[in-house]
Amino acid sequence: MRGSRSRRRQPTTQARHWFAQALLTAVLVGGAEERAEVTIAFPDMPRFRDLIARSEWALRRLGVRVFLVNEGGDVEELFGS
């Protein structure tokens, strides 16, 4: 049965889905409260860096702070307030 099997996605495809979900959540949260400070964070991986770079214009206009976290737990702020 096709519908009952769990589908396994490629990591780059899954990263895109997680990014899209985080972006939608940021937009919804930011719109819910006038003075909300919205922040998103992702693992420091090339795919997330690419998605962030391609979306930077929108993230900046929305005022979303963006962070990457490396395997050692170090946090890098890419841009934001």
Predicted local confidence at residue 66, as pLDDT:
96
Predicted local confidence at residue 1, as pLDDT:
45
Predicted local confidence at residue 79, as pLDDT:
82
Residue with tokens 């937009």: 27
For the chain, give every domain's residue range. 35-81
Q: Which tens digit of pLDDT belongs to each residue from 34-69?
A: 777 889 999 999 999 999 999 999 999 888 999 999
Cβ–Cβ under 8 Å, residues 23 and 56 = no
Q: Does residue 21 surpass a pLDDT of 50?
A: yes
Q: Does residue 4 surpass a pLDDT of 70?
A: no
- What predicted TM-score, i.e. pTM, was given to this entire model? 0.78
Give the SS3 label for residue 3.
Answer: coil
CATH number belonging to domain 35-81: 3.40.1620
